[in-house]
Amino acid sequence: MFNHFFDFYFPRLYRFSLVRVDGDKELTKDLVQETLFLAIKNIKQYRGEASLMSWLCQINRSQISLYFKKNNIKQTVRVSDLPEVQEIFDNIKSEIKDHPDKQYETSKLHEIISSTLDNLPNGYGDLLEMKYLDKLSVNEIAADLSLSVTSVQSKLARARESFKIVITRILGDQTRFFLNPEESSQ
């Protein structure tokens, strides 16, 4: 059970943490391992109000802050980590929960996007996740994958085009409503 938990969440938390410690891979490994250990140790405190990943990210943020404080290092705060921004994200999640139609549409769209990313060739899905979900810069992706910046930019362009082609084929005429939601009200 622990191995499955660890194998599933370690890579996701690793990518989340890596950008918050300026790309220090060894430090990231240590912090993520500590985060997962603390999560298992304190699992009874998880109330299910947020997703498990959100809870793990919060523990990870705390571990990172603690590390920076202990080592007297000034920490750069990311906009997405600010409490007021987190509150906006939580409100959006709550709104979706309160409207079954939106929840169904969102879960179906999430399923389509996840399946598309999982099935794109040439590692394109991983590249798109790193860029848009993990919010890594092209330079960070290049360093992580041992590729040139130009190569990553080129691959990202092909990945975006492949993603767009697949999504358009899956959703057909509905694509414009998902990619441009404001048009659906017109």
Query: Which pLDDT score is estimated for 30?
Result: 96
Query: So where are the chain's domains?
Result: 1-98, 99-180
Fold match, 1-98 / 99-180:
no
Average pLDDT in the 174-186 region? 48
Query: Which pLDDT score is estimated for 87?
Result: 60
Options 3.30.1740, 1.10.3470, 1.10.3720, 1.10.1740; CATH of 1-98 = 1.10.1740
Of the chain, the percentage scoring pLDDT greater than 90 comes to 20
- What is the residue-averaged pLDDT of the chain? 77
Look at residue 15 and give its three-state secondary structure: helix
Angle between helices 25-41 and 52-70 (to 10 degrees): 120
70-126: pLDDT as tens digits: 998 876 655 455 555 556 555 555 555 565 565 556 667 667 777 777 778 888 888
Query: Which pLDDT score is estimated for 175?
Result: 52
By C-alpha distance, which of 95, 98, 163 is closest to 128?
163
Q: Poorest-confidence range of 5-9, 57-61, 73-77?
A: 73-77
Look at residue 88 and give its three-state secondary structure: helix
Is the pLDDT score of 183 beyond 50?
Answer: no
Average pLDDT in the 43-56 region? 82
Query: Which pLDDT score is estimated for 94?
Result: 59
Query: Which pLDDT score is estimated for 132?
Result: 79
Q: Which amino acid is at 42?
A: N
Query: Which pLDDT score is estimated for 22?
Result: 79
Domain 99-180 has CATH 1.10.540.10: no
Asked whether the whole model's pTM tops 0.95, one would answer no
Is the pLDDT score of 59 beyond 60?
Answer: yes
Q: Which amino acid is at 183?
A: E
